[in-house]
């Protein structure tokens, strides 16, 4: 069964796309937790960060570089936060690795 993100990538479900390239897609979260809340999703399914393999290293790096690229595009010079959830205790809801990019307000510390 394809994940929700696979179905978005296949254009079976609509999404507000901010960026797309050959390795990933960046969409706006439908339940934003900040004024800017994007999801950076690899097109190759990696179930969760703790299950990534060494051959996926370049994809993982690409996701972080894409976060920086999108942050520059959106002029988030005051700052942004990247979050990766892994497993139910971290509130992971889709078993397809994705990075949350949060910005647009003062983010508190510690999170959670």
Task: List residues with catalytic annotation.
Answer: 98
The DSSP code sequence of 4-71 is HHHHHHTTSS---EEEE-SSEEEEE-SS-SSSEEEEEEESS----GGG--GGGHHHHHHHHHHHHHHH
């Amino acid at each position: 069964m394809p994940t929700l993100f696979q179905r978005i990538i296949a254009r079976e479900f609509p999404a507000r796309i901010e960026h797309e390239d050959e390795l990933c897609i960046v969409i706006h979260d439908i339940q934003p937790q900040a004024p800017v809340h994007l999801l950076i999703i690899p097109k190759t399914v990696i179930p969760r960060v703790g299950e990534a393999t060494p051959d996926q290293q370049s994809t993982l790096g690409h996701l972080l570089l894409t976060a920086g690229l999108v942050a520059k595009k959106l002029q988030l010079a005051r700052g942004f936060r990247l979050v990766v959830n892994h497993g139910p205790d971290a509130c992971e809801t889709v078993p397809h690795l994705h990075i949350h990019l949060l910005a647009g307000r003062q983010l508190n510390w510690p999170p959670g």
